Structure formats: C-alpha cells, structure tokens
Structure 1
C-alpha cells in the first residue's frame, strides 16, 4: 500500500483547479484499468441481457472545482434512511427499470440526490472491478465524472489549460434531496495525501487501503443535521463509510473506491518520474 507522500506529479496538480487538460490526463489514467477481464458482470456501456437489472447499483465519484479548489463531492446520508443512515457516500443507488445502463442509473440518482442535471456531468472513466455490497446480493458500479455548474458542452470553448468553472457548493446543499441527503461537502484532492487524514484500514478484512478522516469537513458542512454520535457509531456495518470513536471516516465501499481512484493518481505520479 503506497504511503501518503505519493501523487507528486507535473501531469496533474492536486491543488490547482481542474482543467480540460487535467480531465484528459485523468481519462487516460482511468482507462489503464479497463481490461475486459476486470468487468465481472457487464460490458463498458451497461447492462447485458444475461445479467439484467436485479441486484445492480451504480455510484458516481463526482469531481468538481469549488472556489477553484479541485475535489470530490461527498454526501452524508440522511438519518431517516433505512440503510446506512448517517454514513458517507457517493451519489448513487439501485438500478431501476427506467435505466438503460448502469451509468444512466448513477446519473439519475445523482440528479435525484444532489439536483445535478445529467447534462452537467462529464463522464471521464470508471473504477473497475465493481464490488459486491457487504451482503453479497448487489454489485455496485462506480463511475467517475466531472460536475460542471452548467451544461458540460459550455466548457468546450475553454482553453485546455484554463480552469473549469466552479460549482456552487451552497446551491448543491440547497438543492439536495433532504429526504436522502443530510449534508454535502467537498473533499479536496490534496487531502487524499494528507497524513493527518489517512488511517490504514482493510477492505473486508483483506485488502489494505487508506480510510480518510473527514470529521471537520462534515461538521463544517452541517453541524446541526449530522451529530457526530450518529455518524461515528461503531455498531454500523463497514459497508459505505462511517466512523470510529470520535472520528467520521470515509471507509467501507466508498473508501475502497476512493482508494482505487487514488491508485490511478499514483500511476500518474509514477509515470512522471
């Protein structure tokens, strides 16, 4: 497992706003893990007839700029939800009959939960292999996209090195589904390598990865609607992402997919040496 000092690269800055050039670099890095043997259920584009839609879910790892800071949008699930309440997650959920592909499901759920129209999301890749949930009855398909504040085609006129427009985090919080999402916050990309945030952990007690402490970010987002006790209860299953003790962590399946994304960034750093 690589240490927190990795990811120093001239190919992609973790502190400068994302640009079209940066997205192209990420698109190439994500494509490098796209071998057919790592697609355990479906092809790249979606659902095949032999698999069907039962037992399938999809999530979006939503990259964005906020005040020219590059990062990832994360949610705190509402406490009223029957499963994984108070936990950290990406937008996403079960595939419905109306979804033609896994990606359609991820984009539909993103719009329902965050109010982000699908035309504002520019898909740049995916994080295979898709893992089963903790119960083993659902496979969760993770996609990576950049969230534009307006229709994604409006950014095509920008120079390759020009910062992409920032989303308004306050608007996302206002437009979120309050029935499903308690709080919305941005995890800056630079924090993916911050030693003070990273804790070694094991996914399903097997593969090593870094869990991420986001206690301060969650409480800054909405200190009243997300009590620390609700989000950090150790009795919650290690599935989406919750906490330990007095800390709120991104771990479980959400933390694992963030780890796969970090691995792609590691690959960029190594190719730049």
Structure 2
C-alpha cells in the first residue's frame, strides 16, 4: 500500500456527491419540511503499527439513535462548537478518550443525511501517535479498528436489505471479520473508497 496520507489526500481532492439514507430507497421519502441538525463525526486513521487502520466504535444498545451500530465517534453540533470539525474532535475525546490535539485533520468528506434527521459531516484525520482508548460507558460499548485497505476497496461493499416500516429497506454493508459495518457508516466509507480508487 502506498503512503496512506497521499491516498487520503488524493481522495479528498476528487469530487464526491452528498449521500443519504434514502438514496437506495426512493420509496422512503424524507419528511416534508424537515430541518436537518448538523453533526460531525471523526474518521480517524491510525498510522501506528504495520498497517494503517480505521478506528470505529460500537454504540451502546441503550442509545436513542442507532443503538448497537458500528459508527464513527461523533455527534450533533453544539452551540459552543466552532464548527463540525470541533464537534467531531470534542465527541471523539468524550466517547473514546482521543486527545483533541492528536488527530491531524486532512479535510471533510461528503455530507450525509440520515433518516433520523442529521446532516453529518465526516472529518477525515490521521493519528501518528498511539493513544489508549477509553470508552464512554453511556455511549460506547467497544472501540476497535479495521484495516484501512479493507474499507478502501469498493469490491468489499455489498447492498443488503431488511423489512422496515412495512417495506424493504436497502443499505450498504462492508463486513470485516466479526464486525458488521452497515448503514450510514458504510455509505460514508464507500464514498471515500470510490474517491480513493478514482
């Protein structure tokens, strides 16, 4: 694998379209007059060790939004946050104990609209030093990592479906070992993979 920073910066330099939870499901229309709430998530790539790895979380099953799902550390933007990058860094510190000064921010990926009413900006960053993750027990059940090469390969993405609200709902997945990465997280990662391969 060539230099991961070069790969990621080249991906950011290419155009990427905004995505949403509705794009594979034209029959499930977003509510009319909806007001999307801004949110920021950190997409942290660790460069420590023999291969670059993407750090992810498994959300607590007690959460109101997306319980038990694989996700990036992040959340809704608060009034005190200067921007969505500040939101992503604050949430990563709160959720997994990542010091705010450690990530090297590379840029933003395409925004993603969730079915729960958030407009999410993924903030791509690299970590050049190790840190000891500390899970926020009320929000995060587990902190883990997967090989960056796996999620940057578009061939590893699948479209799957399940019954939801009286119909069949389709979504992207990118399984990796014991981890089932799906939904908005998989869709945002697929957007990065397509830009990295272009």
TM-score normalized by the length of structure 2:
0.77
Q: Match of 1:68?
A: 50
Given the alignment of the two structures, is residue 125 of structure 1 paired with residue 107 of structure 2, yes or no? Answer: yes
Q: Match of 1:178?
A: 137
CA distance in 1: counterparts of 2:186 and 2:193, whole angstroms: 10
Which residue of the other structure, out of 124, 127, 150, is the alignment partner of 1:144?
124
Structure 1 residue 134: deviation in Å? 0.5
Which residue of the other structure, out of 99, 112, 124, is the alignment partner of 2:81?
99
Ranges in structure 1 where 5+ consecutive residues have no aligned partner? 1-12, 41-52, 150-166, 219-248, 268-273
Preserved contact between residue 174 and residue 181 of structure 2 (Cα < 8 Å): yes
Where has structure 1 moved over 3 Å in runs of 4 or more? none
Structure 1 residue 254: deviation in Å? 0.4
Structure 1 residue 68: deviation in Å? 2.1
Q: Match of 1:109?
A: 91
Aligned residues: 176
The structure that is helix-richer by fraction is 1
Structure 1 residue 54: deviation in Å? 7.2
Which residue of the other structure, out of 195, 214, 220, is the alignment partner of 2:176?
214
Preserved contact between residue 54 and residue 95 of structure 1 (Cα < 8 Å): no
Structure 1 residue 78: deviation in Å? 1.2
Ranges in structure 2 where 5+ consecutive residues have no aligned partner? 20-34, 162-167
Q: Match of 1:266?
A: 197
Q: Match of 2:185?
A: 254
Secondary structure in 2 aligned to 1:100?
coil
CA distance in 1: counterparts of 2:128 and 2:41, whole angstroms: 17
Residues 261/121 of structure 1: CA separation in 2 closer, same or farther (3 Å cut): same
Larger Rg: 1
Structure 1 residue 253: deviation in Å? 0.7
Secondary structure in 2 aligned to 1:250?
coil
Deviations 1:130-173 (A, max 9, x none): 121113x3211111101232xxxxxxxxxxxxxxxxx25xx21x
The structure that is strand-richer by fraction is 2
CA distance in 1: counterparts of 2:112 and 2:149, whole angstroms: 26
Residues 56/187 of structure 1: CA separation in 2 closer, same or farther (3 Å cut): same
Structure 1 residue 190: deviation in Å? 2.7
CA distance in 1: counterparts of 2:188 and 2:150, whole angstroms: 16
- What value does the CA root-mean-square deviation take over the aligned residues? 2.8
